[in-house]
A and B are shown apart, each in its own frame.
Chain A
Amino acid sequence: MRRTLTILGVASVALVALDVILGLWVTPPDADQGELVRLVYLHPALAWVALYLAFGMAALCAVLYLWPRTRSMRFDRLSASAVEVGVVFIGLTLITGSIWGRPTWGVWWTWDARLTSTALLGVLFLGYLALRRVPADPEVRARRCAIAAIFAAVDVPIVHFSVVWWQTLHQGATVLNPNLTPTIHGLMAWTLLLSFIAFTTLFAWMVLMRFQIEELRESGEDVELTRALEARRAEGVAS
C-alpha cells in the first residue's frame, strides 16, 4: 500500500506539473478566447474527477455496501473518502468556472442549469459529510451514509444532461458529446487529455491516502479502547 501511494503521489505531482507547463507556456492561445482558453486544461478535468470519478465511485461503493453479499466496511470508508475528495474537486470546478465566466459572460455567477445543478450536487454531498459526522454505531452510520450517497448521486446525470435538456449559457459537452466526436485537436487536445490523466491520478492518490487515514484512525480507536479496558481491569485487580 505504501509503495502504491508513493508511486501514485510522485506520478500525480509530475503529471500535474507537466499539464501546468504545457497549458501555460507550450500550447498556443485560442483564436477566439485568447489566453482564457488555458483554463480548459484545468476546469473540465476537475469536473470529470468530481462528477464521474468521485461521486460515481461513492455511489458504487454505497451500492456494494448495501448489497448483503458484498457488504464490507471497506466500501463505506472508500465511499466516504471519494466524497471528501469529490467535494474539494467540485469546489475547484465551480471556482475555475467562475474565473472563466467573469471575462466571458461578464458575471462571476449566473443561474444557468449546469452551474445550478453542479452547485446543488456539491451541497448534497456536503450534507453527506455532515451526516457522516453524526455520532452513531459504525454500521448504522454506514447504512445511512450509503443511502444518502445514492440519493445525492441521482443529481450526477442531471448535471451531465443539463446542457442537453435546457437552454444554457454553459457550452455543450466537447469531449463526451452525444456523438463522441471531440471538437478540439492538435497540441491542445493532447494537453487536455493529459489534464484528465493527471487529475485522475491525483484523485486516486488522494482517495487512497484518505482511505488509509480512515483505516488507521479506526484501528487506533480499537487500540485505545482495548488499552482503556485493560487499565480498568488492572485497577479492579489491584483493588
Chain B
Amino acid sequence: MWRDAVLIAGRDLRIEARSRVALWQVLPFAVLTLLLFAFALGPRPGLLAQSAPGLFWLAVLFSSVLAAQRSMAIEGSGATRDSVRLLGLDPAGVFLGKVLALLAEMVALEAVLLGGVVLLFHVTVTSWGVLIGACLLAAVGLCTANVLYGSLAGEARMRATLLPVLVLPVVAPVLIAGSKAFSASVAPGSGSGARWLGILVVFAVVYSAMGVALYGPLEES
C-alpha cells in the first residue's frame, strides 16, 4: 500500500512541477483571498488582527478545495483511472498517494498564507508550536476529506461546482478547531490549544480511515 502511495504521490507532484497549476493559480487565489478580506474589513489593524484566525482558515479552506479539484482532475484526465486500475495498484495506496501529494501543496500554501497573515494583518504569534501543529493536522484532515469527496463527486464537468457544496460543510470542524487553536497561539492566556488540536487529530484520523476503506469502492465505476 505505501509503495503505491509513494508512486502516486511522486506522479502527482511531478505533474504539478511541470504544469505549475498550484503555483500560478491556487497560490495567487489564496493570497488574493487574504487581500479581499482586508479590503472588506477595512484597514484597521486591530480588527484585522482580531479576525485573522478565522480569515486565515477560510483562505486555507477555499484554497484546499481548488487544489483538490486540480488533484482529482489529474485522476479523471484521459484514461488515467483505467490505467491505475490495470496496473493493479492498491486503491488505499492511490488514496494515500493523492493525499500525500496534496498535503505537500497544502503545507506550502499554509506557510505562505501564515506569512501573509503575520505581515499584512499584524498578528503576533506567541505559541508557534500550537499554530504549526494545528496547520499540519488541519492539512491532513482537509486533504483526506477533499480527496474522498472529490472521488465521491465523480465526473470532472460536475465536480467544479459540486465539490465545494459537498466538502465545505464537512470540514466545518476543521475551521472551528483551527480558528480556536490559532486564537490560542496568539493569546496564550485565553486557554490551551491542546483541546482543539485533539479535535483536529480525531478529524484527520477518521477521514484517513474512511478514505482508505472507501476510496476503492468509490473509484469502481
Residues of chain A whose beta carbon lies under 8 Å from any beta carbon of chain B = 120, 123-124, 126-127, 130-131, 134-137, 140, 143-144, 147-148, 151
Give chain A residues whose Cβ lies under 8 Å from the Cβ of B153.
Answer: 131, 134
Give chain A residues whose Cβ lies under 8 Å from the Cβ of B42.
Answer: none
- Given contacts A124-B170, A134-B158, A140-B221, whether A147 and B165 have CB atoms under 8 Å apart is no
**Interface contact B221-A137, CB-CB below 8 Å:** yes
**Interface contact B218-A136, CB-CB below 8 Å:** no
CA distance A134 to B156 in the complex (A): 10
Nearest 8 Cβ contacts at the A-B interface: A140-B221, A127-B166, A123-B169, A134-B158, A127-B165, A124-B169, A134-B154, A130-B165
Distance in angstroms from B84 CB to nearest chain A CB is: 17
B152 contacts partner chain A, Cβ-Cβ < 8 Å? yes
Give chain A residues whose Cβ lies under 8 Å from the Cβ of B162.
Answer: 127, 130-131, 134
**Interface contact A147-B154, CB-CB below 8 Å:** no
**Interface contact A147-B155, CB-CB below 8 Å:** no
CA distance A126 to B166 in the complex (A): 9
**Interface contact A136-B154, CB-CB below 8 Å:** yes
B217 contacts partner chain A, Cβ-Cβ < 8 Å? yes
- Given contacts A131-B152, A134-B158, whether A147 and B218 have CB atoms under 8 Å apart is yes
- Given contacts A120-B172, A124-B170, A134-B158, whether A148 and B165 have CB atoms under 8 Å apart is no
**Interface contact A144-B152, CB-CB below 8 Å:** yes
The digit string for B161-181, where 1 denotes a CB below 8 A from any CB of A, is: 010011001101000000000
CA distance A151 to B154 in the complex (A): 16
Give chain B residues whose Cβ lies under 8 Å from the Cβ of A143.
Answer: 217-218, 220
Distance in angstroms from B211 CB to nearest chain A CB is: 11
Which chain B residues in 75-114 approach chain A with CB under 8 Å? none
Contacts A144-B152, A148-B166 given; 18 further ones with Cβ under 8 A?
Answer: A120-B169, A123-B165, A124-B170, A126-B165, A127-B166, A130-B165, A130-B166, A131-B154, A131-B162, A134-B154, A135-B155, A135-B158, A136-B154, A136-B155, A137-B221, A140-B220, A147-B214, A147-B218
Give chain A residues whose Cβ lies under 8 Å from the Cβ of B169.
Answer: 120, 123-124, 127
